[in-house]
Amino acid sequence: MPDLKKLHEAVIEGNWKAAAAVTEAAIAEGVAPLTIVTGYLVPAMDEVGRRFECEEYFVPEMLLSARAMKASMEIVRPLLKATGAEPVGRVVIGTVKGDLHDIGKNLVASMLEGGGFEVIDLGADVAPERFIEAAATRNAGLVALSALLTVTMTSMKTTIDAFQAAGLRGKVKIMVGGAPVTQQYADAIGADGYSESAAAAVALARKLVAV
């Protein structure tokens, strides 16, 4: 029986080869794909987030942990689909129009995936119409908007207004984040939630899809 604690360790340590190897062995031994995600990947990424909060981990460490988590998910994802297991939620994520910053958004996307979400990542400089199209066609209940500049933050409002104009505002929860974003701003533009960090984003996402 593979020691799945080694998978947890591999993610924490950012060792993607070990993560993949333990995952393969576990699947071969009959461990359920869902167990791998909820029992090991999710807690490991939660721990990574915690370490970033306490400034033990920095962006490079988070990127490496995400890489290890993704290596495991590569193996697990098709198996999960085959079992018909539903993800915790479906989230469309992107950096808003005019803004090219994406590392923070990428980290959140990785952590959401590690948290059991199906993530549709639209990249950066995403126009409101693309968010709407993706949410509608992929049946996503959650939209996550990122911006890193106060200059581009207004695109968050435009995006939310576009969902409203398209008659789809009631079908999705919209959460916002990024360095200059505040709870105050989120409230002012009618977002459903704001999170201050990648780890907090996962917790918020879970809360929003549970409603």
Partner 1 sequence: MRLKLISCEVLFREMCDACAHSPHQVDPEFLPKGLHDLGGKPMAKKVQEAVDRTPEGVFEAILLGYGLCGNGLDGLTARHTRLVLPRAHDCIALLMGSRERYQRYFERNPGTFYRSTGWLERGKGLQQLTHDTRGFDESLEALIRKYGEDNGRYLYQEMTRYRSHYRKLTFIETGLEAGGKFIAEAAAEAQENGWSFERLPGDLAWLRRLVEGDWAEAEFVVALPGQRIMASYDNGVLRVQA
List C-alpha distances in Å: 12 to 62, 66, 101, 158, 161: 9, 9, 25, 38, 40
**Candidate residues 20, 33, 102, 193; the one interacting with partner 1 per rule CB under 8 A:** 102
Helix (H, G, I), strand (E, B) or coil at 118: strand
Scanning 38-46, 58-66, 82-90, 136-144 for contacts with partner 1 by CB under 8 A, the matching segment is 58-66
List C-alpha distances in Å: 56 to 8, 44, 67, 105, 196: 17, 15, 18, 20, 17
Does the protein bind partner 1 through residue 163 (CB under 8 A)?
no
Residues in the chain: 211
Smallest distance from the beta carbon of 63 to partner 1, in angstroms? 5
Alpha-carbon dihedral of residues 73, 74, 79, 80, nearest 10 degrees?
40
In contact, 51 and 57? CB cutoff 8 Å: yes
**Candidate residues 46, 125, 133, 161; the one interacting with partner 1 per rule CB under 8 A:** 125
Scanning 27-35, 37-45, 168-176, 178-186 for contacts with partner 1 by CB under 8 A, the matching segment is 178-186
Nearer to partner 1, 23 or 65 (CB): 65
Binding residues vs partner 1 (CB under 8 A): 14, 17, 52, 55, 57-60, 63-64, 67, 98, 100-103, 106, 124-125, 149-151, 153-154, 179-180, 182, 185, 188-189
